[in-house]
Amino acid sequence: MNKMKPTRYIRSLDGLRGLAVLAVIAYHLNFPWASGGLLGVTIFFVLSGYLITNLLVIEYENNNRINLKNFWIRRARRLLPAMFTVLVTVTAWSTLFARPFLERLRDDFIPALLYYSNWWYIFQDLSYFEAMSTPSLLTHFWSLAIEEQFYIIWPLLIAGAFLCHMSKKQMVKLTLLMALLSSLLMALFYSSTTDPSRVYYGTDTRAFSLLIGAALAFIWPSQKLSKTIPASLRRSMDIIGAVCLTAILVMMVVVNQYDGFLYRGGMLLASLLTAVLLAVLIHPASKLGVFMTFKPLTWVGERSYGIYLWHFPVILLTSPQISTSETSLVTIAVQIALTLILSAISYKYIENPIRKGAVGSFYAKIQSRGWSIKQTTYRQWFTVGCIALLVTVSCIGLSFKSIGALQPEISSAGSATISEQSSDMPDADIKENSNKETTPAEKDEQPADEKVADDKVKQPQKAPTDYNITIIGDSVMVNVEPFIKTHFPNTTVNASIGRQLHEGTDLIKSMNQNNKLGDIVIIALGSNGSFTSDQLSDALEAVGSNRQIFLINTRVPRNWENIVNKRLEEAADHNPSVHLIDWYSTSSGRNEYFANDGIHLTQTGARAYAAMIAAEVQK
Among 358, 274, 301, which residue's Cα sits nearest to residue 46? 274
- 597 counts as catalytic: yes
Q: Report which DSSP code applies to 494.
A: E
Helix, strand, coil distribution of the chain in percent, nearest 5:
60, 5, 35
Size of the chain in residues: 619
User: What is the spatial distance between Cα 180 and Cα 172, in angstroms, rounded to a whole number?
Assistant: 12
Contacts of 45 (CB under 8 A, 6+ apart): 143, 146, 147, 206, 209, 210, 213, 271
- 475 counts as catalytic: yes
Residue 380 CB burial class (10 angstroms; 0-12, 13-18, ≥19) = exposed
User: What is the spatial distance between Cα 249 and Cα 162, in angstroms, rounded to a whole number?
Assistant: 38
SS3 track for 292-330: CCCHHHHHHHHCHHHHHHHHHHHHHHHCCCCCCCCCCHH
Q: How far apart are the first and last CA of the chain?
A: 84
**Cβ atoms < 10 Å from Cβ of 398:** 17
Contact between residue 597 and residue 476 where contact means Cβ atoms under 8 Å apart? no
Q: What is the DSSP string of 151-179?
A: HHHHHHHHHHHHHTT--HHHHHHHHHHHH
**Cβ atoms < 10 Å from Cβ of 107:** 14
Find the catalytic residue in 14, 108, 582, 597: 597
Contacts of 155 (CB under 8 A, 6+ apart): 52, 56, 66, 68, 71, 72
Q: What is the CA radius of gyration of the chain?
A: 28
- Element of type H or E holding 578: strand 578-581
User: What is the spatial distance between Cα 391 and Cα 368, in angstroms, rounded to a whole number?
Assistant: 29
Among 517, 511, 495, which residue's Cα sits nearest to residue 610? 495
Find the catalytic residue in 94, 136, 475, 510: 475
Report helix, strand or coil for 135.
coil
Buried b (16+ CB within 10 A) or exposed e, 465-492: eebebbbbbbbbbbbbbbbbbbbbeebb
Residue 411 CB burial class (10 angstroms; 0-12, 13-18, ≥19) = middle
Question: What is the largest distance, in Å, between two alpha-carbon atoms of the chain?
Answer: 92
Report helix, strand or coil for 469.
strand
Contacts of 513 (CB under 8 A, 6+ apart): 426
- 323 counts as catalytic: no
Which positions are catalytic?
Answer: 475, 597, 600
